[in-house]
Amino acid sequence: MPPFFSLPHIEDCLKRIRAYAGGVCLIDTKKAKLVWLHHNYPVYFVHKDDLPLSWYLVKAAETDSEITYNVTVGLEHSSRLSESVVLYRTGPLQDLALVKFHKMDSWFEEDEEIFIHPRDSYKRIDILQSSRHVRIEVNGIEIANTRAPRLLFETNLPMRIYMPKTDCRMDLWERSTTATGCPYKGVANYYNVVLSSGEIFQDVVWWYPTTTTEASAIRGFVAFFDEKVDVWVDGEKQQRPPNV
């Protein structure tokens, strides 16, 4: 979100929002609020009238400013769903409740499932086909060379260069167990780079086997951490960006 907005920043959400846990639809509302408690990304709040029925809520703590609830949808979920709803009693969020995203099994905007956290309406992704010549080295060893990169521009983040796997030294890759999620792109898998010297560079390469619809242009392509490798674009060595 723009940094000049004061916090918390509250906006009406026009989407139907549903949240499930233990196979039960606990939230189903067309009047959710998209709220920025910090500048990184928003969260969903719902009006107290849209909270789950009373037998799903057990009061865990109460102060003058808020009430915290556990959600019960069977004994197997009671621990995981502890302190999963916070109802605000005062201030700009009065009568609104935060349903903690990571405590639920799944969330839907209309009929499409979303992951990690709600998407920020002030961020966007542009993926552009390019003919720039991109070379990537690790310790002087060329590990990628392409003239058909796809450049991904994401608000407030460094440009990322994605390239076909066939333009990379896949023989130097070793599968990593690391996986990360992005609400705008999908779930990424990683590779380590292993040089003939035996040196291992952890999680240097990532790719999205499947993507969200808006990021489908990078599906199956790979990107390298520019912070950890040497990159040349059209013959000019790039300055490494700061770690993000």
Provide the Cα torsion 82, 88, 89, 94; round to 10°: -160
Query: What are the counts of helices (DSSP H) followed by strands (DSSP E) for the chain?
Result: 0, 22
Where does the pLDDT of residue 1 fall: very low under 50, low under 70, confident under 90, or very high at 90 and above? low
Phi, psi of 23 (to 5 degrees): 80, 0
Task: Please report where in the chains the tokens 């499947």 appear, as a residue.
Answer: 210
Is the domain 9-114 a CATH 2.170.150.40 member?
yes
pLDDT of res. 5 = 85
CATH class of 125-237: mainly beta
Which pLDDT belongs to residue 103?
A: 92
Mean pLDDT in residue range 168-182: 96
Q: Determine the pLDDT at residue 82.
A: 87
**For 171-181, what is the mean pLDDT?**
96
Q: How far apart are CA 177 and CA 228, in angstroms?
A: 19
Instruction: CATH 2.170.150.40 in the chain: give the residue spans.
Output: 9-114, 125-237
Mean pLDDT throughout 38-65? 92
Residue 75 has a pLDDT of: 53
User: Is 80 exceeded by the pLDDT of residue 20?
Assistant: yes
Query: Any idea which of 77-86, 91-100, 122-131 has the lowest mean pLDDT?
Result: 77-86
Question: Among 8-17, 65-74, 110-119, 122-131, which stretch is predicted with the lowest mean pLDDT?
Answer: 65-74
Q: In what order do the strands lie in the sheet containing 236-237?
A: 141-146, 134-138, 230-233, 236-237
pLDDT band at residue 78 using 50, 70 and 90 as cut-offs: low
